[in-house]
Amino acid sequence: MSEPVCAQKFPIKVDLEPGQYWWCSCGKSQKQPFCDGSHKGSEFSPQAIKLDEKKTLWLCACKRTKNAPACDGTHKSLT
């Protein structure tokens, strides 16, 4: 499997309303941290985020988290 593109080396804070969102896993989206379809033709797929209530999340932007889509601090070890 290919490595995703690192969009940035720190998480993105988002305040989200109830609903469904799609987290970009490939790193190529121009609408980070959300998917814009840039993964098409690759092995990457966006990950659904479903919320029943308003919530603040810190989403991974380096695309290397082991707890997708949440940031787990992996960006701190990237060179």
AA letter at 38: S
pLDDT at site 67 = 97
User: Quick one: pLDDT at residue 79?
Assistant: 83
Q: Is the pLDDT of residue 1 over 80?
A: no
Which pLDDT score, from 0 to 100, does residue 41 have?
Answer: 95
CA distances to 7, 64, 73, 76, 79 from 36, in Å: 13, 19, 24, 26, 27
Whether 44 contacts 4, CB under 8 Å: yes
Tens of pLDDT along 17-70?
999 999 999 999 999 999 999 999 999 999 999 999 999 999 999 999 999 999
